[in-house]
Amino acid sequence: MSVKLNINPDQCIACTICVTACPVTAATRKFRGPKMTGPALTRLRKLISDDDNMLDYCSNCKNCDLACPSGVPISTLNMIAKNEYYKTHPRKSKADYMLAHSENMGKMITSIPLGATFANLGMSIGKNLNMMKAMGIAQDAKMPSYANESFYSKFKKFKQVSYPNKVVFFPGCFINYNQPDIGMDLVKVYQKNKIEVIVDEEFVCCGSPMVAGGYLDDAKVNAEKNVSRFKYWTDKGYDIITACTSCGLMLKQEYNELFDIEALETCSKHIYDAMEYLAILADNNELNTDFKFDNKKYMYHAPCHLKVQAIGFPSLDLLRQIPKIQVTEADAGCCGISESYGFKADKHEISMKIGAKLFKKIKSANVDYVLSECGTCRLQIENGSGKKAIHPISILKQAYDK
């Protein structure tokens, strides 16, 4: 079992467009930049073993991929090299493993009675006792708190109406263990559109945090597990939906870039973002638009991992169908968190510097809430701007409630 190491870096014509788009490059001179660390050094890595700890600075936010006109998967080149690097070099902190394997933590905490209460309490005590710092987690970072009951558990208790139209929902760790209500809102919104939601408890973490942390082999194990389940469902004719843009990107794009898994070819085209799926319904005039009015003001932040999916901003198209709603686009670049990057002690400052423009824009805009599909984007926004951040599906759910 191995990861793909055969991406040809020579597609890069060294035009430097990615350098102008990289938020980490803008925030620190400690990073050599995507062009250099990605395709340029990949050429050298084919000849000599790598000794470049600079790779650690790449946050895998994918703005370089988004900017690249030549289709070079720059950030994936970085992730592959990072994985190789850590095979022969020590990790910077104990937090790396934990952040990359956050599913283990979620599973453990939600499986014991009152686990979440203690874990969340423990996190704040840990912060006060400088334990977080010792582990390599930034003191000022807002860490996700755990829910008392997982999404899977809540879902089982919910009585759905059965419809012939069904989709399989991949909740991802953040919705399952941290914010299960978003998953429940999704189920209710889909029910309003006469779609039954199927949940498969054999799904595991998509592996995105493992890739970013340099644990590619672990990610590959998860990818194989998930893809075999995707194949099972897509063979039956069902589509898969995700509500976390990082999970979505990982499943339909990064698996393809990183791993050779045969079944992937037939199933990745059936994976949709949950909002994209609804927007397609809207395009075909099949969306239930029986919304009550919503007179609040929102600012929408598009996660980087959504932008790179080539589906535009389906949430904006959908939300604007709600009467009286006011949604503006933040359009202020990366929030800086890039999954768990901003939680790390040595990256937190860079992460906040990257997000500064967005925080400023939110603070100066007179809005009630911020909207974003990505869980850690929302955390970062709340941490940086003080405004509450919500998944757009919850606004749709609210608009259906009468």
Among 323, 331, 360, 363, binds another protein (CB under 8 A): 331
Size of the site for another protein (CB under 8 A): 39
Among 140, 236, 260, 312, binds another protein (CB under 8 A): 312
Query: For residue 71, how many other CB atoms are within 10 A of its CB?
Result: 9
Give 262's DSSP letter.
T
Whose CA is closest to 121, among 103, 133, 109?
109
CB 74 within 8 Å of CB 113: no
17 makes contact with another protein (CB under 8 A)? yes
Q: Amino acid identity, residue 293?
A: F
Cα–Cα distance, 42 to 7 (Å, whole number): 9
CB of 281 to another protein, least distance (A): 12
Residue written as tokens 């790598």? 50
Choose between 30 and 292: whose C-beta lies nearer to another protein.
30
String of b and e for 267-289 (b: at least 16 CB within 10 Å)?
A: bbebbbbbbbbbbebbeeeebee
Choose between 32 and 188: whose C-beta lies nearer to another protein.
32
Give 270's DSSP letter.
G
Taking CB under 8 A as the binding criterion, the range among 32-40, 125-133, 142-150, 334-342 that sits at the site for another protein is 32-40
Q: Which residues pair with 137 in a beta bridge?
A: 344
Taking CB under 8 A as the binding criterion, the range among 110-118, 138-146, 185-193, 267-275 that sits at the site for another protein is 267-275
CB of 308 to another protein, least distance (A): 5
Copy the structure tokens of residue 5: 């190491």
Helices (H) and strands (E) in the chain, counts: 24, 8
CB of 32 to another protein, least distance (A): 5
Among 78, 226, 245, 268, binds another protein (CB under 8 A): 268
CB of 311 to another protein, least distance (A): 8
Burial of 200 (0-12, 13-18, 19+ CB in 10 A): middle
Among 26, 41, 137, 241, binds another protein (CB under 8 A): 26
Cα–Cα distance, 40 to 246 (Å, whole number): 26
16 makes contact with another protein (CB under 8 A)? yes
307 makes contact with another protein (CB under 8 A)? yes
Taking CB under 8 A as the binding criterion, the range among 73-81, 174-182, 309-317, 363-371 that sits at the site for another protein is 309-317
329 makes contact with another protein (CB under 8 A)? yes
Q: Which of residues 356-395 bind another protein (CB under 8 A)?
A: none
Taking CB under 8 A as the binding criterion, the range among 3-11, 23-31, 81-89, 373-381 that sits at the site for another protein is 23-31
Choose between 221 and 280: whose C-beta lies nearer to another protein.
280
Cα–Cα distance, 76 to 37 (Å, whole number): 11
21 makes contact with another protein (CB under 8 A)? yes
Using only C-alpha atoms, what is the Rg of the chain? 21
DSSP 129-185: TTHHHHHTB-TTPPPPPPPSS-HHHHHHHS-PPP-S-EEEEE-HHIIIII-HHHHHH
CB 300 within 8 Å of CB 319: yes
Among 265, 290, 366, 401, binds another protein (CB under 8 A): 265
Cα–Cα distance, 294 to 281 (Å, whole number): 21
310 makes contact with another protein (CB under 8 A)? yes
The CA-based diameter of the chain, rounded to the nearest angstrom, is 65
80 makes contact with another protein (CB under 8 A)? no
Choose between 67 and 212: whose C-beta lies nearer to another protein.
67
Among 2, 6, 29, 262, binds another protein (CB under 8 A): 29
CB of 313 to another protein, least distance (A): 8
Q: Which of residues 203-262 bind another protein (CB under 8 A)?
A: 252-253, 256
CB of 92 to another protein, least distance (A): 17
Among 15, 44, 112, 125, binds another protein (CB under 8 A): 15
Binding site for another protein (CB under 8 A): 15-17, 19-21, 25-26, 29-33, 36, 54, 65-71, 252-253, 256, 265, 268-269, 271, 283, 307-312, 317, 329, 331
